Amino acid sequence: MTDHTPFGVCYAKVTPEQVQNYRMVIIEPDFYTKEEMEALRATGTKVIAYVTLGEVDTNRWYYPRLAEIGFLGKNENWNSFFIDLESTEARRVILTEVLPAITEKGIDGLFLDTVDAVAPTTDRAHLQPYMVQLIEGIRQRYPGLSIIQNAGAFLLEETGDDVDAFLTEALASDYDFENKKYRIRSAAEFNDRLEYLNHYSTQSGKPYFIVGFADSDTKRRQIKARLDTLGRPYFISNIGLSELPVQPDSVANTLKSGSS
C-alpha cells in the first residue's frame, strides 16, 4: 500500500502538476486524450481510470446503447440509471466497447464503481452473479492492470481473486443527500462500519483505501483524527470528488513502510 499513497480521487480534469505529489490518482478518463493521459503518467504517478458497472448517467457516450436495452430504475441522488446486467448485450457493451475506449488511452488500472448497485438490500440483488461475471471478464481481458473495486464488499468472496484492492467511502463521515449536509458519523456507526470492512478485508486478503467527505477544515481534522489511527490510506474531499490539492498533506495520508 505504501507504493500507492498518498492517493487522490478527482473527477474534475487535473494537470500533471496536480498529480505529481501523489503516488496514485483515480480520475475520470473521458476528460483526457491519450496524450494528456501520457503526460499524467509521465510524472510517475499511477493513473487509475474510473468506470461505472452498475449504473450509467445520461452524459456517457454509451448511455444510448444501454438505454436501448432498458434500465432497472433510477438513482435519484446521482441522476443515473441502473444497468440491467442480466442482459448479455449490456455486459458486452461494457467489456468490448466501453473498456477498450478507456484502456487504449494508456492507464495503470481500473476503478470499478457502482458495484453496490446490486447490494443485498436492493431489489437488484439477483444481479450479483452477473456483476461477478462482469468483473471476472475485466480481469481476464486486462491481467496486467491494477483493479480496485469500489464498495460492494459483500461480493469480495466471489470477486477477490479478480481485484487487487477495494475502496470504501464515508467510513468516518457521511453526506445527507436529502438535506445536502455533511456530517461526522457517531462513534458507534464508525466502529460498526470498521468492523464490517475489516471482516471482508481479512476474509478476502485484500487491502482497502478510504475516501471521506467534508466541507470544512474542522470536519477534515475530525476525520483525520479518526483515520490516522487505522494505518490505512485515506483521501478526503467533497461529495463530488472535484478537488485535488497540489500538496496532499491536508487531505491524504502517507503510510510509513510496514503499515498495513
Using alpha carbons, list the distances in angstroms from residue 195 to 153, 190, 192, 230: 12, 9, 5, 12
Residue-wise pLDDT for 43-102, tens only, equals 999 999 999 999 999 999 999 999 999 999 999 999 999 999 999 999 999 999 999 999
Confidence of residue 255 (pLDDT cuts 50, 70, 90): confident
Identify the three-state secondary structure at position 164.
coil
Q: Out of 3.20.20.70, 3.40.50.2300, 2.102.10.10, 3.40.605.10, select the CATH number for domain 2-250.
A: 3.20.20.70
Tell me how crowded residue 12 is: count the other CB atoms within 10 A of its CB.
13
Using alpha carbons, list the distances in angstroms from residue 67 to 102, 124, 138, 180: 20, 17, 22, 29
- Tracing cell 496536480 back to the chain, one arrives at 18
Residue-wise pLDDT for 154-174, tens only, equals 999 999 999 999 999 999 999
Identify the three-state secondary structure at position 254.
coil
- Tracing cell 482497502 back to the chain, one arrives at 208
Is the model's pTM score more than 0.75? yes
What CA–CA distance (Å, rounded) separates 8 from 91? 29
The domain ranges of the chain are: 2-250
Residue-wise pLDDT for 126-150, tens only, equals 999 999 999 999 999 999 999 999 9
